[in-house]
Amino acid sequence: MADNVRVNTESVSEPSSLTSALLARLREAIRASGGWLPFDRFMAMALYEPGLGYYANQNPKFGQMPAGVAGQGSDFVTAPELSPLFGHTLARQVAQALAATGTDEVWEFGAGTGALALQVLDALMAMGRAPRRYTIVDLSGSLRERQRATLASHAAVVHWADALPEVLEGVVLGNEVLDAMPVQLLQRVGGQDHGVWNERGVVEAPDGRLIWADRSTALRPPLDIEGPHDYLTEIHPQAEAFIKTLADRLRRGAAFFIDYGFPEGEYYHPQRHMGTLICHRAHQSDDDPLADVGEKDITAHVNFTGIALAAQGAGMSVLGYTSQGRFLINCGLLDVAKDAGARENAMLGKLVNEHEMGELFKVIGLAPAGSETGWDPIGFTAGDRTHRL
C-alpha cells in the first residue's frame, strides 16, 4: 500500500452475497495498482466487468416493482418503463432534429430494455418519419438480448454497435447514460482556507474486505467550495471525455441527453457536502458502493455545466438546457396524452411534476458548431436554462 494512503477502517463490511469471482478480480486489480484502486476504476469494474459487473451480468435491473413483487425482479425504473408517453413525446423532438439536420439515423446509448427505442420508433413510424437505421450502443450482452426481443417488430432498422464510428451523422439519444459513467471521488478534510484534498479509493483489508482509503491529490472540483467543513464530492472526467469523443465524431445532427443532475453552482453547493453518489437495489437506495458489488447500481448525478463546457471545448454548441418536465411539455406531451387513461395520466404526473422526475431530471441538447443555426429545437422553446449553466 502506498505510504501516503489514509485508510478508513470503519467504512464498510463485505456481506456474503458478493460474487466471489468479481471480488477476486477486484482484489487482483487492487494488488496490480500497488494496493490502492481509485474509485473510478472500482466503479467501472463493479458496473461493467465482463460477465460479472452490474450491467454485464444476467440479473434483472429495470422494472416498476422490486424483486419478488408481481413476478418482477428489478432495482429501479426509468422514464420509458413508467410510460410510453415519454418516448412518444421525445420522438417529436427526434423527428424535428432529423428533418432540420437532414439526417436519417438515430443512435441511442445505453438502451436498457429497449423500451425507449420501441416507443421512439413506433411514434416516428406513425408520423411517417421512420429512420433508415436505429443503432444502439450497449456493452451489456444480456441487455442486448432483451432489446432484440423488445424490438423484434423493428428488426429491419435496428442495429447494434460496440463503439462509435469515425464519422457519425444523425440524432443521438442518451437517457440515464451519463450518470452511470465512472466518477472520481474527492474528499476535502478541513475548510476552504486550510483544508487538504484527497482522492478516495479502495484497498483490501487484511481480512480480505474492501474498504475505503484516501490519498493526497492535486485534483480539485471546478469550483472553490466555501465553508469550514469536510466535503465529499465527485468529478466527471469520463463523462466529459465521452462528450468530447462524440463531438469529434458527430459531423451532422444533434444529441439529446436526459439525466438527473444540476448545473455546476448547485452541484458543488457548500451544503452538498456528502456528494451525490448513490446505489440502487430492489427499488431501495443506499450510499455504500462497496457492499453487494455487482448486485446493485452505482450512479452519480450529472454536472451539466461540465458537460456543456466539454462540448463547447470540442467544437459543439449547446442547443438548450431545461428540466425534463418543461422539455416534455414543450414537445407536446399534453397533446400526445390527450386520449390516455387514468393510469397513464398518473404516470404522466411522475414524468413532469417537480417533486417527481420533472425537476430533478434535466435535458441538454448539443450539436456540431454551425449546424445549430436555422432551427430551434421544440424541447427548449420555453423555460430554457442555458444561461444557468
For residue 123, the Cα-to-chain-centroid distance in whole angstroms is 24
**Which of 182, 173, 198, 197 lies closest to 300 in space, CA to CA?**
182
* Domains of the chain by start residue, with CATH: 1-372 (3.40.50.12710)
Is residue 65 scored above 70 in pLDDT? no
Residue 69 pLDDT greater than 60, yes or no: no
| Residue 270, C-alpha cell as written in the block | 457548500
The fraction of the chain above a pLDDT of 70, given in percent, is 90
Handedness of CA 139, 145, 151, 154 (dihedral sign): positive
Nearest-10 Cα torsion for 122, 142, 365, 105: -50
| pLDDT score of 85 more than 90 | yes
* Interval 120-162: pLDDT, tens: 999 999 999 999 999 999 877 778 888 999 999 999 999 999 8
